Amino acid sequence: MRIKICGITKSAQGNEIIKLGATALGFICVERSPRYITPLQIKAIIDDLPSLVDTIGVFANAKASEIIETVKITGITGVQLHGAESPQFCQQLKKQLPQEIELIKAFRVKTPESLTETTTYTEYVDTLLLDAYHPQMLGGTGQTLNWLDLQQFQPSLPWMLAGGLNPQNVTEALSQLKPDGIDLSSGIERSPGDKDLSKVTQLFQTLTN
């Protein structure tokens, strides 16, 4: 199972999180986010990583040109779209990105019915991600999804579960759902962008027990 730790801002923390067992790191490319770091900062962290892992840039309603430029500067291996990007935007962006770049579309699930929206994207992206809905925040809210609402979710693509996951509740979530990966941010932090390595250690201990 993929384990993505999102909102990385510090090189030393990124290194330790990879050593603990994460398979992907996420970097926030949305300037209004408290976890935002610049493309050059992302590149410096990636260049310093101890091993090859997936490195995902998270964007929200950015221009395709901005995303492509960030991919070139940083060397990220994937792009996550966390805004209101249309299927058409995803289709065009996918054509413009290098073939090896993974395209992830995130959905903030407000009701079970909103899951039907995901089907219109499956031709144009590689991976789906389900996050909790918040009226003001795009992610890192600490709010969980209603996992029962997701039990019938069986998309044709790999999918990741996000939304308020932490070392205390991840076992319960995975007992109810079978995602291809999980994505954590606020549930393992001291403050936005500052990961609590003791919580990250606890997470991996929980997952391996």
User: How many residues are listed for the chain in this entry?
Assistant: 209
pLDDT, one tens digit per residue, over 68-104 is 999 999 999 999 999 999 999 999 999 999 999 999 9
Average pLDDT over residues 31-42: 97
Q: What is the CATH number of the domain that holds 44?
A: 3.20.20.70
* 81, 83, 138 from 30: Cα distances, Å: 11, 10, 10
Pick the closest to residue 57 from 68, 49, 91 (CA basis).
68
> Which band of pLDDT confidence, cut at 50, 70 and 90, is reported for residue 7?
very high
pTM for the complete prediction?
0.94
Q: Which domain holds residue 133?
A: 2-208
CA 107 – CA 93 distance, rounded (Å): 17
CA 9, chain centre distance (Å)? 14
pLDDT digits (tens, 9 = 90+) for 72-81: 999 999 999 9
Domain count, the chain: 1
Q: Express each pLDDT in 111-140 by its tens digit.
A: 778 899 999 999 999 999 999 865 454 555
Mean pLDDT, the chain, as a whole number?
A: 93
